[in-house]
Amino acid sequence: MPLLKVDSVTAGYGDTEILRGVSMVVQPREVVSIIGPNGAGKSTLMKTIFGLLHARQGSVTFDEHDITRLAPYRVVRLGMCYVPQVANVFTSLTVEENLEMGAFPAGKADQTESKERVYAMFPKLRQRRRQLAGKMSGGERQMVAMGSALMLNPKLLLLDEPTAALSPKLVDEIFERIARISETGVAVLMVEQNARQSLSMADRGYVLANGENRHEGTGRDLLNDPNVGRLYLGG
């Protein structure tokens, strides 16, 4: 059984329809990348999966639970966490306080084990644990956001543009951390503007355009597809 199954989902805002019959799956432990031009509906799809936006048609199933109409806090309890592109940390709190806030939905009094697991994946956060998140660089904030989500030990992590507006060096570092997260057994579904780099590390990928599925396949197959390269990878 897929860990996540999106089946013929249509969704949008007000009278505007953004997604039109989108389908996709994520298997346990997989890294799946969603690419496509601006306005393709990638972020809308992530919000629909997580319950921030409800599908008008179709269904979303996670770990054999129908979550199509579930509120996000209920989705989190089932083992899915979401890191949005912006406003994803508490800037007035320290790194450690952000991690503790990430664990809040679990109501765990002792978070030592969870923190140690996150610090092992993000050693820089251990060094900066007393620093305010608002004083950190964009790449460091992204690590804080991912670390906070991982405090709940999710089965699936949703990442919306994790490398947006970062320098090439920080982009590489974030992708290295995503690979490390995957190695722990957490499945990852990411929307990424660095399409080539995300597909190169993805088990599988999907290409969205105008709110519809256009291509899907292994990361390698999409990278080698001349139509995908010409239309969506810049060559």
8: region left, alpha or beta (phi > 0 left; psi from -120 to 50 alpha): left
pLDDT tens track of the chain, all 235 residues? Answer: 899 999 999 999 999 999 999 999 999 999 999 999 999 999 999 999 999 999 999 999 999 999 999 999 999 999 999 999 888 999 999 999 999 999 887 665 568 889 999 999 999 999 999 999 999 999 999 999 999 999 999 999 999 999 998 999 999 999 999 999 999 999 999 999 999 999 999 999 999 999 999 999 999 999 999 999 998 987 6
Of 43, 85, 48, 88, give the one whose Cα is nearest residue 70: 48
Residues 6+ apart with CB under 8 A from 98: 89, 90, 133, 144, 145, 147, 148
Q: Give the pLDDT confidence score for residue 165 in this predicted structure.
A: 86
Q: Give the pLDDT confidence score for residue 107 in this predicted structure.
A: 62
Domain chopping of the chain, boundaries = 4-230
Q: Give the pLDDT confidence score for residue 234 in this predicted structure.
A: 78
What's the one-letter identity of residue 130?
R
pTM, whole model, 2 decimals? Answer: 0.94
Q: Give the pLDDT confidence score for residue 122 in this predicted structure.
A: 94
Q: For domain 4-230, give the fold.
A: Rossmann fold (3.40.50)
Secondary structure (3-state) at 131: coil
